[in-house]
Amino acid sequence: MKILLMGHPNVGKSVFFNRLTGANVTESNYPGTTVDYTKGWMKIEGEDVEIVDVPGTFSLDPKDRAEEVAVAMLHENRDAKVISVIDASKIERGIYLALEIIEEGYPLVIALNMRDVAEDKNIVIDADRLERILGIPVVSTVAIAGEGIKELVSRLKEAKPVNVEDIIANAANASTTESVADAGGAA
C-alpha cells in the first residue's frame, strides 16, 4: 500500500511524515525538476506501507513547479490512499483541496492538524459532524505533540472513495437537522 501525505504548504505534512516513518527515508529529486520530496516506510498491522511526503499544493490546478509535482505524484499513484492534512485554524481553505482529491475518486482520511493553534484562536471544529458529512474519517491532531496520530493510522482502513453528490446531500441534511434542532431549542 502507498499513502500520500497531501495538503497546503506549512500545515505539518513533514512533521506527520517524520512521526510515521522511521530512519529509513530517502530524499529524491522529482525527475526533470528541482523539486525534492521524501519517501519512507512504516508498518501498519504487519503490512509494509510506503509513505510519500508530497510537496505542498493549494489545489489540483497547479500554479508553480512544486504544485505540478504534487499533482503529478497524485495522478501517478491511482491506487494510493491520501492523508489530507489540513490546518484546523484555516479549515475552509484546506477543505477545498481535500474535496478535489475526493472528487477524483481517491480514498482519503483527513487530519485536522494544528488543533492547538485553532484552540488558541477559539476555533473549535466538530470533527464528528464533518466526518458524518464527508463519509470518511476526520481526526483532530497536534502533529508536533504526536496527538491523534495513532488514531489516524488506525482509521486508514476506513478510507474509501466517496461521491461528491453524497457529501452535498449529507451537508444539506445536516444543516436542516441543525436548524430544526435550533428551532426546537428556541421554542
Q: Which residues in this chain contact ligand GTP in the complex, by CB under 6 A?
A: 7, 9-15, 56, 113-114, 116-117, 142-144
Q: How far is the CB of 185 from ligand GTP (least distance, A)?
A: 34
Asked if 14 is part of the footprint of Mg ion (rule: CB under 5 A), the reply reads yes
Of residues 38 and 162, the one with the C-beta less far from Mg ion: 38
* C-alpha–C-alpha distance, residues 50 and 47, integer Å: 10
Beta bridge pairs of residue 113: 87
Strand order in the sheet with 25-29: 25-29, 36-44, 47-53, 2-7, 81-87, 108-113, 138-140
Q: Using CB distances below 5 to 8 A depending on partner kind, what does residue 10 bind out of Mg ion, ligand GTP, none?
A: ligand GTP
Is 55 or 162 the residue whose CB approaches ligand GTP more closely?
Answer: 55
Cα 72 from Cα 78, distance rounded (Å): 11
CA distances from 42 to 80, 90, 129 (A): 15, 29, 30
15/110 with CB nearer Mg ion: 15
Q: Pick from Mg ion, ligand GTP, none: which does 140 bind, CB < 5 to 8 A by kind?
A: none
Write the DSSP symbol of residue 33: S
72 binds, among ligand GTP, Mg ion, none (CB under 5 to 8 A by kind): none
Site of interaction with Mg ion (CB under 5 A): 13-14
